[in-house]
């Protein structure tokens, strides 16, 4: 196989020739003497894998094994132990007769058997029977028998049929010689899909996991953090924002794509390093010139670093699998549908589980960096809208609709960044129209429990919206708002419960915006609360001083009564004015209706004996 002719056929090939320290067979019976050996199959398989590992340019899809006599015996033993490792096998005058059950494990492996009928050392029937059984099983098998061993005019011992193979003499029915046939055999790489998992944290959307679908169960104990490598490219157009290997924190199996840990499962979950300030963890790129978060294209490459053992005992060999990137699983974000209002504003909507009761509506307004037309960054830039879709917050509202509109540019008319002025604004009327449209299109929204809030420029738009249509809302929560309403403006919202949050050391939006609004509203008799923080330090992480929304989205602000902000918000409800037409007051009819309803409910409760 190292000869020029053979190397030309294979286009160059590595050749290894292991040596048994005694015999490949467990015993060699020579009549009066029995020689012991064997038990080398596991070590031989390990050797082959080691050679592949140590020579990265070996093609793992083109591994061939063969041998003569006792080497034919060990060829059978090796392919029966690890059939998936090989692309082809050629046992010659093999001193082994595999059983039917054994041969069932190699029906998919191309095998070419050679044997001389007059072999006086190893029975010809060994090869003949193996061929016939494999044929019956539907195996990919070729058999070349010879009457004796005569080659190039020389008669050799009848056992030496390897002389034919090593001179490339055997020919199959298609006229192809054995070495040419062998060189053309190649394993088809199996295709596995993996998915990226993202979650929105306090600091924005980040990649937390990779989940690989292996198609069948694997034991978690067979995995370790070195089983795979994860390489990432984060692209902004043609530019690379991040490139490198990701740090793997843990690896385990799951029985579903939700990633719940189990002792075994078809899914391999690779948990990656992430956190505030961790390079290459986020999904968004900050474009300072456009003052905007830009979604990056995420290209990941998974490399299997060691052979894995399926739960049924079969192997998944490294180098024999292609791992292709599938979808991104965006936790909670995927629960928000893509919507567009008739006025033209994009928005995302979370709809609670239908429960035959009216549910409140929460409007979250994004900051300056999340505008545009992608209809994504307004819910991925920070935990804003997503926080209200969590089980924790949903339980406080007994289920709530959540919408996150996106300004096509900025909520403000202009954003002054030194010498750069970015224009936008003028969206208040369209936003009010959108909110009314959502209420109309979802009859189970409770119009008396509509809440609105946002951070920074979203706080600006919160003020603009409640000043334009205060009658729509039950409560508002402007956070570090980039707007300072006048006293005349605040007179229109004195009946609206408002909770302000701001850090005193905010280096982006003046704390005085919120402080002055609070003092003015208080002096006017408004229903207002202000929670001030010195800076933004939460969960032992120091964030930029402008990010005071982190406190509200973790339900940290607490009023004088010890009530936390989200619990307070969920309890707010506006009074519906009695319906009037001209001079006719319909209060009596409304009152009678209410009394009848209460009487009906009381009757049902008493009837069912459920009085507490």
DSSP lists the bridge partners of residue 72 as none
Is residue 360 a contact partner of residue 450, using CB atoms and an 8 Å limit?
Answer: yes
Structure tokens at 4: 């020029």
Structure tokens at 521: 């509203």
Please report, for residues 74, 248, 305, 486, the alpha-carbon distance to residue 42 in angstroms, rounded to integers and kept in the order given. Answer: 11, 30, 20, 83
The per-residue pLDDT for 289 is 86
SS3 175: coil
Structure tokens at 411: 């909520």
The per-residue pLDDT for 58 is 95
Strands 88-92 and 111-116, by their bridges, are: parallel
Whole-angstrom Cα distance, residue 88 to residue 68? 15
The per-residue pLDDT for 336 is 98
Whole-angstrom Cα distance, residue 296 to residue 545? 26
Q: What's the distance, Cα to Cα, between the start and end of the chain in Å? A: 91
- Tell if the pTM clears 0.75, that is, is over it: yes
Q: Which of 521, 439, 534, 451 is nearest to 487 (CA)?
A: 521
Q: Which of 436, 435, 467, 460 is nearest to 363 (CA)?
A: 435
Residue 470 half-sphere exposure, CB side, CA atoms within 13 Å? 12
Whole-angstrom Cα distance, residue 354 to residue 573? 21
pLDDT along the chain (612 residues), means of 10: 97 97 88 84 96 94 97 97 95 97 96 98 97 97 98 97 98 97 94 97 97 94 95 94 97 94 96 96 93 95 93 88 95 98 97 92 97 97 97 97 97 82 90 98 97 98 98 98 97 98 97 98 97 97 97 98 98 71 41 48 43 30
Q: Which of 146, 136, 83 is nearest to 111 (CA)?
A: 83
DSSP string covering 445-462, please?
EEEEEEEEEEETHHHHHH
| DSSP secondary structure code for residue 85 in this structure | G
The per-residue pLDDT for 599 is 52
The per-residue pLDDT for 582 is 40
* Cα 161 off chain centre by: 55
What are the φ/ψ torsions at residue 463 (nearest 5 degrees)? -60, -45
- CB contact burial 517-528 (16+ within 10 A = b; e otherwise): bbebbeeeebeb
Is residue 293 a contact partner of residue 286, using CB atoms and an 8 Å limit?
Answer: yes
Beta-carbon contacts of 128 under 8 Å, excluding residues fewer than 6 positions away, are 115, 143, 145
The per-residue pLDDT for 524 is 97
Whole-angstrom Cα distance, residue 172 to residue 338? 61
- CB contact burial 469-500 (16+ within 10 A = b; e otherwise): beebbbbbbbbbbbbbbeeebbeebbebbbbb
The per-residue pLDDT for 603 is 47
| DSSP secondary structure code for residue 200 in this structure | E
Is residue 276 a contact partner of residue 543, using CB atoms and an 8 Å limit?
Answer: yes
DSSP string covering 104-131, please?
GGGTTS-EEEEEETT-SSS-HHHHHHHH
SS3 202: coil
């Amino acid at each position: 196989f190292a000869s020029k002719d053979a190397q030309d056929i294979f286009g160059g090939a590595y050749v290894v020739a292991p040596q048994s320290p005694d015999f490949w067979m467990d015993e060699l019976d020579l009549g009066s003497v029995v020689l012991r050996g064997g038990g080398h199959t596991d070590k031989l398989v390990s050797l082959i894998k080691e050679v592949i590992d140590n020579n990265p340019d070996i093609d793992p899809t083109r591994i061939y094994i063969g041998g003569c006599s006792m080497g034919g015996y060990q060829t059978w033993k090796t392919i029966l132990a690890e059939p998936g490792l090989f692309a082809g096998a050629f046992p010659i005058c093999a001193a082994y007769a595999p059983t039917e059950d054994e041969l069932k494990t190699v029906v998919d492996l191309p095998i070419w058997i050679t044997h001389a009928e007059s072999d006086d050392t190893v029975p010809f029937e060994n090869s003949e029977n193996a061929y016939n059984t494999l044929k019956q099983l539907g195996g990919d098998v070729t058999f070349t028998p010879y009457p004796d061993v005569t080659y190039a005019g020389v008669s050799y011992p009848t056992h030496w049929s390897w002389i034919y193979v090593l001179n490339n003499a055997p020919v199959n029915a298609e006229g192809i010689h054995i070495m040419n046939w062998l060189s053309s055999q190649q394993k088809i790489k199996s295709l596995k899909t993996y998915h990226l998992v993202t979650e929105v944290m306090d600091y924005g959307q980040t990649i937390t996991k990779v989940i690989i679908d292996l198609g069948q169960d694997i034991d978690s104990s067979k995995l370790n953090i070195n089983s795979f490598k994860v390489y990432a490219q984060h692209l902004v157009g043609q530019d690379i924002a991040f490139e490198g290997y990701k740090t793997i924190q843990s690896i385990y199996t799951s029985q579903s794509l939700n990633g719940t840990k189990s002792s075994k499962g078809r899914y391999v979950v690779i948990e990656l390093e992430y956190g505030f300030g961790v390079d290459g963890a986020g999904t968004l790129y900050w474009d300072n010139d456009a003052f905007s978060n830009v979604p990056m294209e995420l290209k990941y490459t998974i490399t299997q670093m060691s052979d894995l053992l399926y739960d049924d005992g079969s192997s998944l060999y490294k180098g024999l699998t292609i791992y292709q990137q599938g979808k991104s699983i965006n936790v909670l974000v995927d629960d928000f549908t893509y919507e567009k209002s008739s006025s033209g504003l994009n928005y995302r909507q979370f709809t609670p589980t239908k429960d035959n009761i009216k549910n409140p509506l929460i409007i979250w307004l994004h900051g300056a960096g999340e505008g545009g037309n992608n209809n994504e960054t307004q819910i991925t830039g920070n935990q804003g809208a997503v926080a209200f879709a969590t089980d924790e917050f949903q339980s406080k509202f007994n289920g709530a609709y959540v919408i996150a509109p996106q300004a096509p540019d900025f909520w403000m008319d202009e954003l002054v960044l030194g010498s750069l002025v970015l224009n936008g604004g003028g969206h208040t009327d369209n936003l009010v129209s959108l909110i009314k449209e959502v209420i109309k299109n979802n009859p189970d929204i409770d119009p008396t429990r509509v809440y609105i809030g946002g951070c920074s420029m979203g706080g600006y738009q919160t003020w603009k919206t409640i000043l334009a249509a205060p009658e729509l809302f039950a409560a508002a929560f402007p956070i570090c708002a980039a707007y300072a309403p006048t006293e005349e403006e605040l007179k229109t919202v004195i009946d609206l419960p408002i909770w302000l949050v701001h850090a005193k050391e905010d280096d982006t939006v003046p704390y005085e915006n919120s402080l002055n609004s609070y003092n003015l509203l208080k002096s006017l008799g408004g229903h207002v609360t202000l929670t001030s923080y010195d800076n933004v330090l939460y969960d032992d992480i120091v964030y930029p001083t402008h990010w005071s929304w982190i406190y509200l989205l973790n339900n940290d602000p607490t009023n004088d009564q010890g009530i936390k902000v989200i619990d307070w918000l969920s309890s707010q409800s506006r009074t519906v004015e009695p319906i009037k037409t001209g001079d006719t007051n319909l209060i009596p009819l409304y009152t009678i209706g209410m009394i009848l309803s209460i009487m009906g409910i009381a009757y049902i409760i008493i009837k069912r004996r459920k009085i507490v």
